[in-house]
Structure 1
Amino acid sequence: MRRSAFAVVALAALAAGAASAAAAEFPDGDARRGAYLARLAGCIGCHTDAAAGGAPLAGGAAIETRFGTFRPPNITQHAEDGIGGWSIADFAQAVRQGLAPDGSPYYPAFPYPSYAAFSDQDIADLYAAFRTVPAAAGGRQGNDLSFPWSVRQGLHLWRALHLDAAPPPQDPARSEAWNRGAWIVEGPGHCGACHTPRGLLGGQDAEDALTGSSDGPGGGPGGGKVPAITAAALAEKGWTADSLATALQTGLGRSGDAFGGGMGEVVRHSTAWLTPADRAAVAAYLLEP
């Protein structure tokens, strides 16, 4: 009996020590900076069902795709429904590797391949920010996917094929703004998630990056058409660095028409909150590949 009790205590101590060691690997987090990164990464817009009056980050509206329906989960501090019980190591593993605390893989509707660009400091800041989010119940409806996409274990193969942990390349010959824009667009801003066509298994087609997607197998969320945002496509439509940066702030196109659908939500919940320097950086990168 005593030996069993000692073993339980010892195992608990080892687990606590491992958790402490994992937490010690990350720097102290800045919640204010983390809140900004959450906006930049689109967390609020995706995980909040604003149209239905849902609590912030308590679960987003359904996303219809050719694979079925994805429902962004609750990421508030609710212990059961959200991520209130997660350690920073759990959080980092989910955000950058697409794995739940128990090791099960997430579907890439959660753009963790892009979030792999987050540094340890970014993760610490994001974690600090999410720790301030009030707990809210709900948001556990789950996805509704057709076979074989409903077999979650197949995602281990998907991750092996499509998860690249390397950060977006930086070019020392380019300006600081251009390199910042590359990090945002190719990394946490995950512009390619909608603006790049996808193959049979749902991976982005790197050879046609940012060339847009159309109705059908390569379509964007909801099956709708998503325009190309390559430098050539933007220049053909008359976009300049100033007009593009302004559009990312206001949601208004060059002719004064408002962005609709998914892009309207991106502006409302994400790019409108960015600093002028970051919006200019995105424009610089998109217009000067």
Structure 2
Amino acid sequence: MNTPDVTVVRACLRGGAGGSPTAVVLEDGTGAPTPDDERRLVPAVHGTSHAVYVRRTGDVSELRFFTAQGELPACGHGTVAALAVLAARHGATGPYRAVLRAGGRVFSGRAERSGPLVSAAFDPGPVDLREPGAQERALVLAALGLPAASAAAGVRIAGVGRERVLVPVATRAALAALRPDLDRLRAACDRFGLLGAYVHSRPSPQGVLAARMFAPSIGVAEDIANANSTACLAAHLAGRGVRRIRVDMGDALGSPATVTATAGADLQVEVGGTARVLTERAGRRLR
């Protein structure tokens, strides 16, 4: 089996560097789609955690997201990466706007090129927020190595496409010190159908904070950047008067990344980041 041509994008850069390497495949809308079992191999072959397949039908670009474990209903940094490639292929020097379809919904995205960089943002959809159940809270906090009382008051379950748990810690230092038991975390997330645990420091008055996303249930021990979870946090913090956030991620993995999100008065969120489109890699043999 062979992969199609792949473009690797570093999504959600910080200061023009770092970011999350993401494989982007633009499919021919008239040809047969790649079988799903082959799509799952692409991230490992190209050294990325995720792959996004883009298939244009008329004016709509359909996105499908894969890790080695299988398909995801949504992927925020994958959407940023796809927008960057679409904008680069479009060749527009001004703002580029796209209509996207993923996870059964149609939504808008935008991108703008500035030299080698592309700033991209999109509407992740409505964010559902709820209080965790006692077992959800206890098992996830235990797997993260956090005392049950340390973060209990601020723990929330949030979803855009799939639920995940938001867990606050007091400082960036406490965040950096986390050493979760990934087997226990996977078991807890699998039990409750959660995507993973997004652990974040408390925001500064300017809305600046740091976060780490642990998602062993989808085959990603730790995500360099997670835009949809950042969108969830933006919706949560908007209820506390924080409307704009800038979240640093990836430091523990040696690839600094930053995701930004804004929540409007109606809690509609826009999330995004800056990306760099790297050289395309020709298709290669998978097996």
Normalised by the length of structure 2, the TM-score is 0.26
Q: Highest Rg: 1 or 2?
A: 1
Q: Looking at both structures, which has the greater relative contact order when contacts are Cα pairs under 8 Å and sequence separation is at least 6?
A: 2
Structure in which a larger fraction of residues adopt strand: 2
Normalised by the length of structure 1, the TM-score is 0.26
Structure in which a larger fraction of residues adopt helix: 1
